[in-house]
């Protein structure tokens, strides 16, 4: 999908869980970062790490703002 120009956003939830090994956490983060589109600026993020419901909502709201910008400029 990325190679077709589709923007991909990913959210890692609770990836700092102490029940996961450091290797598991690093691997999970690496997969999500690799799947997401490259960030074009600090204001246009594609990969998010969150650990609470509030942070998850904030990440979704930022994704919505970013996709609205793309829609309005195309």
Q: Give the model confidence (pLDDT) of 11-62 as tens digits.
A: 999 998 889 899 999 999 999 999 999 987 777 889 999 999 999 999 999 9
Taking a C-beta distance cutoff of 8 angstroms, is the pair 7, 70 a contact?
Answer: yes
pTM of the model: 0.80
Taking a C-beta distance cutoff of 8 angstroms, is the pair 14, 48 a contact?
Answer: no
Question: Looking at residue 66, what is its pLDDT?
Answer: 83
Instruction: Please give the Cα distance from 17 to 36 (Å, whole number).
Output: 21
DSSP-assigned beta bridge partners for residue 11: 48
Question: Looking at residue 4, what is its pLDDT?
Answer: 86
Tokens 């919505």 belong to residue: 64
More confident residue, 5 or 60: 60
Instruction: Please give the Cα distance from 35 to 68 (Å, whole number).
Output: 21
């Amino acid at each position: 999908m990325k190679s077709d120009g589709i923007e991909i956003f990913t959210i890692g939830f609770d990836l700092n869980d102490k029940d996961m090994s450091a290797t598991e956490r690093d691997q999970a983060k690496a997969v999500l970062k690799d799947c997401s589109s490259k960030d074009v600026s600090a204001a246009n993020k594609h990969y998010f790490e969150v650990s609470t419901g509030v942070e998850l909502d904030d990440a979704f709201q930022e994704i919505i703002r970013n996709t609205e910008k793309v829609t309005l400029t195309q």
